[in-house]
Amino acid sequence: MSSKSVKITLPDGSLKSYIGPITAIDVAREISEGLARNVLAARVNDQVVDATRIIDADATLELLTWNDQDGKSTMWHSSAHLMAEALEALYPGVKLGIGPAIDAGFYYDVDFGDRPFDGDQLVLIENKMLELARQKNDFKRADISKTAAIEYFQRKGDEYKLELIDGLADGTITFYSQGNFTDLCRGPHIPNTGFIKAIKILNIAGAYWRGDEKRKQLTRLYGISFLKQKDLSEYLELLEEAKRRDHRKIGQELGLFTFSKKVGKGLPLWLPKGAILRERLENFLRKAQVKAGYDPVVTPHIGSKELYVTSGHYEKYGQDSFQPIRTPAADEEFLLKPMNCPHHCEIYKSQPRSYKELPVRYAEFGTVYRYEQSGELHGLTRVRGFTQDDAHIFCRPDQVKEEFAKVIDLTLYVLKALGFPEFTVQVSLRDPENPQKYIGSDADWNRAESEIQEVAAEKGLKTVVETGEAAFYGPKLDFMVRDAIGRKWQLGTIQVDYNLPQRFELEYVGSDNLKHRPVMIHRAPFGSLERFIAILIENTAGNFPLWLAPDQVAILPISEKYHDYAQQLFLDLQEKDIRGFIDHRDEKIGKKIRDAEVKKIPFMLIVGEKEQSEEKISIRAHGKGDLGTLSLIDFLETFQKEAFRDL
C-alpha cells in the first residue's frame, strides 16, 4: 500500500494530515485514547462505515459513538450478528433470514426448522451472546464474488440468504465475520464484540419472510444491547414506565371504557367517566368548528350497498368488511358505514349548488364500522367501531389550497390545546408500483399530491414523505404520534380528493353559468375519538387537563358531621358546571385523599370543622399537595384560571 498524504476534515472544520493509509480509530486515538475506545463506527464522506476501514484518500470524517443514532444502530446491527452466532452455536442448522437494527435495538428472523422454541430459551441465548461478546472477536469485512457467496450458503443450506444474494449484483457483495460466524452483510459493524456488555432479548414473534403473508413465517427475536449494564437497567425501567401509562391499564383503573366478549371484540363500551371525557372533547372541537365555518350534519349508521358501490369502497373493501345487512325484501342490502363521505356527498347533492356558496363544510361525529383483522385489534387504538371527528369540505378547485391550509391550522390548534408535543407530519402519497390500488386519473393525483405538499411547505411544516400510504381515492397529510410502547399511529388526517366528486357526479354552477366539479377535502383532526383518547391517556398518564377531567373535584368531609356542608358545596359547584362527587365513606381523611390521588382527581376539597365555621374550603391539588384554605369565590377563580389555561 502506498504511503501518500491523507487530509481528514473533522466536523468542527479542523483539518488533519496523515501519512496514510489510516483508519477512523487512528484519528480518534490521536485525539484521545478514551475516544478511540468509544468509537463504534465512522461517517466518512457522509457514508457510515466500519471504524476500522482504511481511509486512503482525503475525506471528511465524523467519529460515531453511542451518542450518535448511527453509532447505536451499528452496535445493534452487530448485536444481531452476535445473536445469530449464539443461535448457530446453540441450535446447529438454524437458518437465518434478515437481522437489522431498528429504532431501539435489533432483531433477527430465524427458521428453527421443526425445533420447538419457547420463551424460556431466551436467557440461554443472552448468556451465550455475553460469553461470545467477552471473546472480543473482531468484525472482519470481506468482499466476495457472487459465485463464492452462493457456494458458501449452498454449503450451509440457507435458502433465505441465497434468495437475498440472488437479488444482489456481483461485485457489491460483502461478508462479515466474527468468531465462528459469517454472514452476508453490507455492514458496517463495530470493531469487535467486546463493546456489547449488556443484552436483553425482549420478545419473540412471528414474521413473514420478506413481509409477504403468502410465504413462510419465521421466528423473529427482538433484542437490545448496551455498552453498560446500567443503560440496560434504565431502558428496562423505561419500558416499565411505559406499561404503567398504557391506556388499556389506565382506562380500566379510571373506569373510562371496557370491552365485552358478548358485545363483540373491538367494540368499545364507554363507561360514564370515559363518556364525559369524550363529550368534553367533542364539544371542544364543535366550538372550534363553528368558528371555522363548519355546519353540523347527521347521517345514519348504514347505507345501501349501492352507495358504496358508487364510492368504490365496496369494490375495494367489500369482501374484507362486515357483510351486507339484508331485509325481508329480496335483493335489498345495506352496509354498516365504514366511512361518512358517501353520505356527505349525498347531502351535497340534495340541492343545486352555486359557486357562490362554496366552500360548504359538513361536519359530523360519525361512528363507522370496519372489520379489522382480529390480530390487529388493540385497546382503543385499533377497533371495529369508532367515531371519526369527520368533515368534508366541498370547494372550487381554486379554493383547495386555502381550505387545506385552514384545516392544518385547526389540526395544529387541536394538538396544541391537548398538549401533544411530539408528532410527525407525514405526506402519504400513492405507490407508483401499484397503480391498481387507486382510483382516478394520474392528472388528478398529481395535482392533489402537489397541492398537499405545497400547502404543507407554505405552512412551514416539516414533513416526511411516505409513498404507498395514500388512501385509494387520494393523497393525505397525516399527523402521526407514538403510543407508550413506541408504536406509530395516525391521528389527524387531511385528504384531497378529486375522485369521489366525480363518482358521485357532484356539481356546482360557476360564474360562467356552466356546471363544474367541486373538489372534496376529507379531514379529521382527532382522527377517531377512540384512538385520540388512547394516546391522550398515554401522554397524560391519566392526569387530564382540568377541563377534560371526568371528575374535576372530590369533596372530602373530615367526618359525617360535615356532610351537610359538603352537600351545599357540591350544589354550589354543580351550579358552576363543575363536575365532582362527595366521598361519603366512613373513612379517615388520609384514606379519602389517597383514593382521590390515585384516581387522579385534579382538586380535593377538604371540609371539616374549621371550613364549616369559616365558610371556606381547604384545597389540595392532585400531585401538588395542600394549597391552603380559600373561600368558594376564590376557589372558583383559581379553578377557572386553570380550566381555561390551555384553551
Span from 77-85, 141-149, 312-320, 398-406 in contact with RNA (CB under 7 A): 312-320
135 — phi, psi (to 5°)?
Answer: -75, -10
Catalytic pick among 141, 361, 382, 392: 392
Which 73-132 positions form the footprint of RNA (CB under 7 A)?
A: 118-119
3-class secondary structure, 299: coil
Which 557-576 positions form the footprint of RNA (CB under 7 A)?
A: 558-561
Counting Cα atoms < 13 Å in the Cβ hemisphere of 216 gives: 12
Among 66, 152, 355, 371, binds RNA (CB under 7 A): 371
Residue 105 and residue 225 in contact, taking contact as beta carbons nearer than 8 Å: yes
Question: CA-to-CA distance for 365 and 360, rounded, in angstroms?
Answer: 17
Q: Is 392 in the active site?
A: yes
Rounded to a whole number of angstroms, the minimum distance from the CB of residue 65 to RNA is 28
Q: Is 390 in the active site?
A: yes
3-class secondary structure, 286: helix
Q: Is 26 in the active site?
A: no
Among 2, 172, 351, 374, binds RNA (CB under 7 A): 374
Site map (CB under 7 A) of RNA, residues 149-188, x = contact: ----------------------------------------
Span from 132-140, 456-464, 620-628, 638-646 in contact with RNA (CB under 7 A): 620-628
Question: CA-to-CA distance for 221 and 426, rounded, in angstroms?
Answer: 29
Residue 221 and residue 139 in contact, taking contact as beta carbons nearer than 8 Å: no
Residue of 362, 361, 341, 359 lying closest to 396 (CA atoms): 359
Catalytic pick among 141, 247, 278, 522: 522
Residue 332, interface with RNA (CB under 7 A)? no
Which residue's CB is nearer to RNA, number 97 or number 179? 97
Q: Is 495 in the active site?
A: no
Among 204, 275, 347, 417, binds RNA (CB under 7 A): 204
Among 135, 217, 283, 441, binds RNA (CB under 7 A): 217
Q: Cβ atoms within 10 A of the Cβ of 105, count?
A: 21
Which residue's CB is nearer to RNA, number 182 or number 612? 612
Which residue's CB is nearer to RNA, number 64 or number 554? 554
Site map (CB under 7 A) of RNA, residues 513-552, x = contact: ----------------------------------------
Rounded to a whole number of angstroms, the minimum distance from the CB of residue 35 to RNA is 35
3-class secondary structure, 212: coil
3-class secondary structure, 623: coil
Q: By CB under 7 A, how many residues form the interface with RNA?
A: 72
Q: Which amino acid is at 614?
A: E
Residue 530 and residue 522 in contact, taking contact as beta carbons nearer than 8 Å: no
Site map (CB under 7 A) of RNA, residues 459-498, x = contact: ------------xx------------xxx-----------
Question: CA-to-CA distance for 642 and 295, rounded, in angstroms?
Answer: 30
Catalytic pick among 189, 353, 476, 622: 476
Span from 158-166, 211-219, 288-296, 347-355 in contact with RNA (CB under 7 A): 211-219
Which 624-643 positions form the footprint of RNA (CB under 7 A)?
A: 625-626, 629
Catalytic pick among 341, 430, 592, 620: 341
Among 317, 355, 413, 423, binds RNA (CB under 7 A): 317
Which residue's CB is nearer to RNA, number 312 or number 550? 312
Q: Is 640 in the active site?
A: no
Residue 363 and residue 296 in contact, taking contact as beta carbons nearer than 8 Å: yes
Question: CA-to-CA distance for 592 and 566, rounded, in angstroms?
Answer: 14
Rounded to a whole number of angstroms, the minimum distance from the CB of residue 559 to RNA is 3
Residue 315, interface with RNA (CB under 7 A)? no
Catalytic pick among 121, 289, 388, 495: 388
Which residue's CB is nearer to RNA, number 209 or number 226? 209
Site map (CB under 7 A) of RNA, residues 575-614, x = contact: ----------xxxxxxx-xx--xx-----x-x-xxxx---
Cis peptide before 188 (omega within 30 of 0): yes
Which 401-460 positions form the footprint of RNA (CB under 7 A)?
A: 437
- Which grid cell sits at 327? 331485509
Q: Cβ atoms within 10 A of the Cβ of 504, count?
A: 20
Q: Which amino acid is at 99?
A: G
Question: CA-to-CA distance for 234 and 372, rounded, in angstroms?
Answer: 36
Largest CA distance in the chain: 96
Among 24, 339, 391, 548, binds RNA (CB under 7 A): 339
Question: CA-to-CA distance for 508 and 354, rounded, in angstroms?
Answer: 5
Q: Say which residues have a Cβ less than 8 Å from residue 264's Cβ, sequence separation at least 6.
A: 384
Counting Cα atoms < 13 Å in the Cβ hemisphere of 437 gives: 14
Rounded to a whole number of angstroms, the minimum distance from the CB of residue 524 to RNA is 9
Sequential DSSP letters for 130-153:
HHHHHTTPBPEEEE--HHHHHHHH
Residue of 433, 645, 469 lying closest to 544 (CA atoms): 645
Among 373, 436, 511, 513, binds RNA (CB under 7 A): 373
Question: CA-to-CA distance for 362 and 526, rounded, in angstroms?
Answer: 16
Which residue's CB is nearer to RNA, number 46 or number 114? 114
Active site (catalytic) residues? 341, 370, 388, 390, 392, 476, 522
